[in-house]
Amino acid sequence: MFTGIVESMGHLVDVQPDGTNLTFTFESDIASELKIDQSLSHNGVCLTVVDLLNAAFQPVLSANGDTPTMYKVTAIDETLKKTNLGQLSIGDKVNLERCMPANGRFDGHIVQGHVDQTGICSSIEDQNGSWLISFEYDASTQNITVEKGSICVNGVSLTVVNSKDNGFSVAIIPYTWEHTNFHQLKAGSVVNLEFDILGKYMQRILQKSR
């Protein structure tokens, strides 16, 4: 489980196809703290670390004392279809978050790392100290947002403003702008959306009661 509080960014340095899957290699300042089999959120997508690499792209072995600077994760076809990971290019940044420790503070909201669908950035408004970013999504999926409710965009826990049937806006403070990949967004950018799990349960209950 994650909380939507991004702790670092990763830079994509390599992509290799493997059947219908893609294996990504990312460079990150938290690579040295990762372990193989560990779950790590990438733009809100939970992926498993499958290898640790040094600066020469060689696997890191505990016996030789190397410090990893990069790591590998694999996204299967189903994940690629539902997220923006398949659109990443070399050099792109992704938002990273490790799983919440059992004794950690819950600073965001419940984020599973299971992206519901993608959305499109429709506008970015500089409000002289913050940014108002608007997104649109396919409402036929019956996912919903509510004013002042939670939404996870590219793995970032945010508060919804200006909620509507097929879209919403979020207000971004300078710290979030600088320390996530939101500063790379532009109109037309594709983002990963995970809707509030409580809202999804309520929506399902209401559908069954009709």
pLDDT at 178: 96
pLDDT at 47: 97
Query: What's the chain's average pLDDT?
Result: 93
Residue 87 has pLDDT above 60, yes or no: yes
Q: Which residues sit opposite 47 in a β-bridge?
A: 40
Please state which of the ranges 34-43, 103-112, 140-149, 186-195 shows the lowest mean pLDDT: 103-112
On the question of a common fold for 8-98 and 117-209, the answer reads yes
pLDDT at 56: 85
Where are the domains positioned within the chain?
8-98, 117-209
Q: CA 56, CA 82: separation in Å to the nearest integer?
A: 32
Whole-prediction pTM: 0.91
DSSP 58: P
Q: Quickly count: other Cβ atoms within 10 Å of residue 196's Cβ.
A: 22
Residue 88 has pLDDT above 80, yes or no: yes
Task: Assign domain 8-98 to its CATH architecture.
Answer: Beta Barrel (2.40)
Q: In Å, how far are 110, 132, 144 from 158, measured between CA atoms?
A: 12, 12, 14
pLDDT at 62: 57
Q: Which has more pLDDT, 107 or 122? A: 122
pLDDT at 55: 87
Q: What is the pLDDT of residues 173-207, one digit of tens each?
A: 999 999 999 999 999 999 999 999 887 777 777 77
As a three-state string, the secondary structure of 137-165 is CCHHHCCCCCCCCEEEECCEEEEEEEEEC
Q: CA 111, CA 175: separation in Å to the nearest integer?
A: 21
CATH of domain 117-209: 2.40.30.20
Instruction: Give percent of the chain with pLDDT exceeding 90.
Output: 80
Q: What is the pLDDT of residues 22-55, one digit of tens each?
A: 999 999 999 999 999 999 999 999 999 999 999 8
Residue 75 has pLDDT above 80, yes or no: yes
